[in-house]
Amino acid sequence: METIKQKRIIFFILTIIGAYMVLFWSINIENYTHKVFSYVSNPTPYTDYIIGLIVYVCITFLVFLTKNKAYFIIWNIKAFITLVFMITYEHMYWLDAYGYYSVAISDHYNSFFNADGTHNMKYLNYLFTYIVGNSYYSLKLLNSFIGFLAILLFYKSYLIIMNKLSLKVEKNFIYWLFLLPSILFWSSIMGKDPMNLFFTSVFTYSFIHLLIKFKLRYIIFIGLSMFMVGFVRPWFTMIYLFTIIFYYLKLTDIKQIILAFLLAPVGYIMLMSFLHKFGVDSIDALFLGMSTVAKNMAYGGSSTSVAEIRGFGDYLIYFIPNFITAVFRPLLFDARNPFTALAAIENTILIYMFYKYILKNFILIYQNKYMKFLMVYILAWSLFYVILSPGNLGMAVRFKLQILPAMMLLIFISRSIVLAKDKKDTFATNYVKIDN
């Protein structure tokens, strides 16, 4: 009874805060959105916002039809972040979403998908206008809903793994996964991140199913995700490919080592062919180009000094420190504003849980095929982002969105495995051994 009363009090307080934010923002709407609408000559922000609210009602009705209370609550929180909270963030910073919006509502945008991810996202949002209209808020909400679907697929992957390992599903994990600040925030913007995350979730969901039983449809979904993500961030096609190769390559199997050695030239030719599309003619040029991109992003209050990586030797030297930066920073000593401070608190918790449930039980966890896949995916992601992320910790948080759901699955499922082992739960422990 006391718990119900506490929940009602918390709900009441949050409702008051939310209502105040809506009222405050409504009064100051034109001042807070001048950056968005300075790009275009559009109807008043109020008209634009009303269109967004109509789209919100339609999407919310679809979520309501699932009859899942948790989905309904989480979607409304996510919509609040998209339509209300992010107005403050957009008022403080210039975002690439403004460029997507200005091009998307142009009647003269008649191009097609090509090798430029930014171009493709502008064109995709242009196509979205035929669904939700020429409203900045409706487009942003549709992008946010795509992010919602992506996290939903990760949650479904969690349920599948827990079921196959005969482990008890943690009731609150759904809220940890959907409402972790970095996931909630960066999957709610208009841009590449929600779409990139969606293809990653399809890849993850399909691969996990494939580990359970070989079915052609999951091969097709993996192929489609690898193909489509190339239109958003082309190097993610390589990340998915490396994930598959690293997962199935066994260094203890002499036959696989010989096969890998024989296929290495073919892989090199394919990689160079892929890089040639972006004007890169050597591996050293790739490292130097990515290092230059990282330096160009090293601006603002979240910037850090970036070591120049000119070749494979520099890459190996800086891999471990840059890996820690890409995956676990900013930390508390990096906090420069409320957003990085929140990310720092989040990372501190993740480090603690990562150490307690994964590093201390690494062999047990890695021997599980599902956990191995998640680890390998994070490793494959890091091969690129140990260069791109360290220059700007604000951007590092944004880039990490693509592995955060996988990290959450890895940590929480590992936690369940470790607890089952520690409690000497015979059935659960034996099942993990069988699965190894």
Q: Do both 315 and 167 map to the same domain?
A: no
Q: Tell me the C-alpha distance between 399 and 402, whole Å.
A: 6
DSSP state of 168: P
Whether the pLDDT of residue 150 is over 90: the answer is yes
Q: What is the pLDDT of residues 293-303, one digit of tens each?
A: 666 565 555 65
**Residue 261 sits in the same domain as residue 344:** yes
> 46 and 125 share a domain?
yes
Q: Are residues 285 and 408 in the same domain?
A: yes
Higher-confidence residue of 396 and 371: namely 371
Residue 365 domain flag: yes
More reliable by pLDDT, 357 or 5? 357
- Provide the mean pLDDT of the chain: 80
> What is the pLDDT averaged over residues 208-226?
91
Instruction: Please count the structural domains in the chain.
Output: 2
Residues 365 and 255 in one domain: yes
pLDDT at 120: 85
8 A C-beta contact, residue 324 and residue 378? no
Judge whether residue 428 has pLDDT over 50. no
pLDDT at 396 over 90: no
Say if residue 160 is in the same domain as residue 290. Answer: no
Does 279 share its domain with 134? no
Whether residue 415 lies inside any domain: the answer is: yes
**Could you tell me the pLDDT band of residue 163, with boundaries at 50, 70 and 90?**
very high
User: Is 97 within a domain?
Assistant: yes
For residue 28, being part of any structural domain is answered with: no
Mean pLDDT across the stretch 125-145?
90
Which of 128, 157, 174 corresponds to the end of one domain?
174
CA end-to-end span of the chain: 44
Q: Is 242 part of a structural domain of the chain?
A: yes
pLDDT digits (tens, 9 = 90+) for 281-330: 666 666 666 666 666 565 555 656 666 666 667 777 778 888 888 888 88
Amino acid code (one letter) for 195 = M
46 and 124, same domain (yes or no): yes
Position 124 confidence tier, pLDDT thresholds 50, 70, 90: confident
Instruction: Read off the pTM.
Output: 0.84
Residue 410 counted as domain residue: yes
Look at 47-51, 334-338, 342-346 and tell me which has the smallest mean pLDDT: 334-338
- Lowest-confidence pick of 173-187, 263-277, 355-369, 385-399: 263-277
- Residue-number span of the structural domain to which 51 is assigned: 33-174
Contact 251, 257 (CB under 8 A): yes
Q: State mean pLDDT over 97-125.
A: 75
400 close to 330: Cβ distance less than 8 angstroms: no
- Burial (CB < 10 A; 0-12, 13-18, 19+), residue 197, is buried
Helix (H, G, I), strand (E, B) or coil at 8: helix
Indicate whether 14 belongs to any domain: no
137 and 243 share one domain: no
The residue out of 157, 174, 191 marking a domain boundary is 174
How far is it, in rounded angstroms, from Cα 240 to Cα 377?
A: 7
Boundary of a domain, candidates 174, 206, 227 = 174
pLDDT at 199: 96
Mean pLDDT, rounded, for 94-108 = 73
Same domain, 64 and 159: yes
388 within a domain of the structure (yes/no): yes
Give the residue-averaged pLDDT of 118-131: 86
